[in-house]
Structure 1
Amino acid sequence: MSRFAPPDRSRAVALWLFGVAALVFAMVVVGGVTRLTGSGLSITEWKPLLGAIPPLSDADWRAAFDQYRQIPQYELVNAGMSLNEFKGIYWWEWAHRFLGRIIGVAFAVPFLVFLVIRRMPRRLIWRCVVLLGLGGLQGLIGWWMVASGLVDRVDVAPERLATHLGLALLIFMGLIWTGLEAWNGPEPSRSPQGWARGAALLLGAVFLQCLLGGLVAGAKAGFVYTDWPLMNGQVFPPVDWGQGAVAFLHDQGLVQFVHRVWAYALLLMGSLYALQAFRWRLAEGMGFWGYALAASLWLQAVLGVMTLIHAVPLSLGALHQAGAAAVLAIGTVNLWVVLRSQPRRFVSIRGGGL
């Protein structure tokens, strides 16, 4: 192969993609901290370039503070906040946005370099272009989310927060998947087998639970009904059905209830998946990642209960959000490994082949 011909695989490209995925993981965690500290509305303007420069003088800080004092969150939640207290929430939101800018540069610049030196596997170019476009879209959605809390609300709309989180996690999954493709090279396409369908269903269920978690965060539903397994002594909480279908997005009790029930369903699905993986002794890493996914689901569930009963302290809340991203990463790798494994390459624990 010519040294100028694009390779079929590239470990350097894979490491770059995994590195950007790690930055996105950090972004998700910092975003969770930003939400828990009530910092998300502290910057009331969207300046993609100039916004990277924080206030540098006392006059700049007072101007930023004056803008914040004009929105409902200050008037109804933080009235009387000092300038120093404002700086505390400002820096979290600034760090969140600045990390987003770093991710954009960390992706775009190496991508262009790999293209110029022809070290980017040709089959992965379009995927990286899509990921780059989704990254730009994420910035727009982030501002769309923030804008929902600047006029008639004291916080952002839950559905917009869930959308923002969901797109970040899609990018995270895409980076991991593309990195695995770059590391291992191309494989012949195969028709999805039963295990692939099960792994895909489980990954989709994990992603849905992450979106439901975003709704819980947006509705601040984790701060109510902090007993478990019941909700204020009841199986099903009171719901304001007068909101109509919007109750599924905004009603704190209903949003938390759905998040709990789907967690139970996930635990059942993950456990059955791991049990079947053990029963059939799946080959080529399929079993390992199935066990890892089930174990991570149980750990995340325990962490979720601990976060809830302690009324979402900052440390546990951030750890729970990080755990969600970790479970999603394991689920992504699990599906990739299943799709890469030869179909029907497993044996029964009873010794009979299939």
Structure 2
Amino acid sequence: MRAFKSSTRRTSSTASGVIAPETGSSSPLSSLSKSIGQNARKTKTGFFPNKSEKLVAYWLLGSAASVFGIVVFGGLTRLTESGLSITEWKPVTGSLPPTTEEDWESEFNKYRSSPEFKMLNPNMSMSEFKSIYYMEWAHRLWGRFIGLSFAIPAVYFITRRKVSRPMALRITAIAGLIGFQGVLGWWMVKSGLKDDLFATGSHPRVSQYRLVAHLGTAFLCYSAMLWNGLAILRTHKLLGNLQVAEASLRRLRNPRLRMFRSSVGALAVLTFITAMSGGLVAGLDAGLIYNEFPYMGLGLTPPKSELFSDFYSHTTDNSDVWWRNPLENPSLVQLDHRILATTTFTSVMALWAYSRFSRNVRTTLPVTARKGVHGVVGFVFLQVVLGISTLIYLVPLPLASAHQAGSLALLSYVLILGSRSWLPNRRVSTLLAKKFAAAGITPKRPGQSSSRIRKQRNASKAAPKAAVV
């Protein structure tokens, strides 16, 4: 009877066209459902991972080091007056220097038609021309290397999902900034190749406005690379040691550090502005006047008639005197740079005193941030010594180059201090919250003791039991 019933079931199932799948087997329908589920989870997770890999951080920091080097080398190119030796911009074919005597003669003839040759170097020989040509050629080749060494790995890291989505957007923006920097470089050089772009009879030089734009873009590229590289390493450090991360975040979230963080951000902006004012000094050769410190002539400042001179006005009513003098008058440009440099130095020392003598900040600030403050103090002292020495000794090549490098080094350490005292972004905070929850760690609020945490845990455990009773 039992066999008859089972036979009847099989017959009816077959007749109805429905075949029950065997246990443990995989039908096409189940495989399709699994595939749909996997795709749904993949879509929910997104194309990019939650955090970028460490390799990306090392690549960004290496790129930042390369940009640091080219900034210093670019300063040497300007100081040796080599920047106008190549009168054309050929991004591809210009990668190789002249190889034959005919090619060298052709390049030299192009340089002979430039204002710099006619007014400054009419007796230059071929060997002298080759020395400045190679200087500018190496500078441009270095720029091409930075572009390629950033763009190619950027494409790889993004397509291979080695970076998070926000980091992919930042890397793309940095790549665009590098390309824009190359265009700005030629735009700057072009300003020194035509007589109508500077005053008749004056020293042939590139526009100080374009020089500052070129320098400022390089500083921004460097800062973005450095900051994001440090951010990735910090994320891995926090996620790798949850106990240390919890203690560090508890300190950084303390309201006592809000003023300190704001001060670090303001100091970074001030350092950048001071460096750009130094670019104006370099573009106008303003460091070759008033080679004494702290005086400028008979007093701390030149006469007012010299600072706001009608000579720099381009209008008949002199209505542009108030803004052209701070940007085109070498005397006022140097005075502005002195004021900004002194303000930067004073701000650094005030930040150090705040972190040292304010009890709330001293007891709350992480150890790494306190070390960062000391590093900023050391670099600002070094930069002041280099700046005064460069001025007094009439801008010698080694000191001037070191002074330019010092400005970027000072900005670097201010950014490092910021990375050590800034709170993680929302994405990293969310990842840490999930890690804390999975590890059973309850983050303490600022000022909350461990005994209070234990009481809260015991209360939360006892609450369900009381409800059951």
Q: TM-score, normalised by structure 1?
A: 0.91
Alignment check: 8 A CA contact 1:104 1:135 kept: yes
Q: Which residue of 2 aligns with 1:303?
A: 386
Greater RCO (CA < 8 Å, at least 6 residues apart): 1
Which residue in the other structure is 1:241 paired with? 309
- Structure 1: distance between partners of 2:225 and 2:402: 22
| 107, 125, 138: which one aligns with 1:82 | 125
Partner residue, 1:15: 58
Aligned match for 1:177, one of 213, 217, 227? 227
1:205 is aligned to 270
Whether contact under 8 Å (1:277, 1:286) holds in the other structure is no
Distance 2:329 2:423 in 1: 42
CA distances 1:49-95 after superposition (whole Å, capped 9, x unpaired): 11111111111111111111111111111111111111111111111
Residue 164 in 1 paired to residue 214 in 2?
A: yes
Measured in 2, the distance between the counterparts of 1:32 and 1:208 equals 18
Bigger helix share = 2
Residue among 226, 231, 234 paired with 2:296: 231
Do the aligned partners of 1:124 and 1:182 also contact (CA within 8 Å) in 2? no
Q: Counterpart amino acid of 1:198?
A: S
Question: Which range moved further: 264-273 or 120-129?
Answer: 120-129
Instruction: Measure how far apart 1:284 and its partner are.
Output: 4.5
Q: How does 1:204-283 map to 2 (within 5 A)?
A: 204-237=269-302, 238-239=306-307, 241-242=309-310, 243=312, 244=321, 245-279=323-357, 280-281=361-362, 282-283=365-366
C-alpha separation between the residues in 2 aligned to 1:321 and 1:93? 18
1:194 is matched with which residue?
Answer: 259
1:326 is aligned to 409
SS at match of 2:144: helix
More displaced stretch, 136-145 vs 279-288: 279-288
In the TM superposition, residue 249 of structure 1 has moved relative to its aligned partner by: 1.7
Shift of 1:232: 3.0
- State which drifts further: 163-172 or 244-253: 244-253
Contact kept, 8 Å, 1:304 with 1:320, in 2: the verdict is yes
Distance 1:219 1:345 in 2: 52
Q: Does 1:94 align with 2:159?
A: no
Q: SS of 1:111's equivalent?
A: helix
Deviation, structure 1 residue 116 = 3.0
Deviations 1:315-351 (A, max 9, x none): 1111111111100111111122221389x979xxxxx
Residue in 2 aligned with 1:289?
A: 372
Q: 2:418 aligns with which of 330, 335, 341?
A: 335
**TM-score, L = length of structure 2:** 0.70
Q: 1:159 corresponds to which letter in structure 2?
A: Y
Distance 2:261 2:446 in 1: 13
Question: Which residue identity does 1:143 align to in structure 2?
Answer: W
Bigger Rg, structure 1 or 2: 2
Q: Aligned residue for 2:460? A: none
Residue 7 of structure 1: how far off its partner (Å): 5.4
The letter of the residue matching 1:248 is P
Secondary structure, counterpart of 2:422 in structure 1 = helix
Provide the rounded CA distance (Å) in 2 between the counterparts of 1:60 and 1:278. 63
| Residue pair 2:48, 2:164 contacting (<8 A) in 1 also | no
Q: Do 2:208 and 2:284's aligned partners in 1 also have CA atoms closer than 8 Å?
A: yes
1:251 Cα deviation after fit: 1.4
CA distance in structure 2 between the aligned counterparts of 1:331 and 1:110, rounded to whole angstroms: 28
2:173 alignment partner in structure 1: 130
- Structure 1 stretches of 4+ with a deviation exceeding 4 A read 186-192
Question: Once the 2 structures are TM-superposed, how far is the Cα of residue 305 of structure 1 from its aligned partner?
Answer: 0.5
Q: Which runs of 5+ in 1 are unaligned?
A: 347-354
Checking the alignment, whether the CA contact within 8 Å between 1:14 and 1:180 is kept in structure 2 is yes
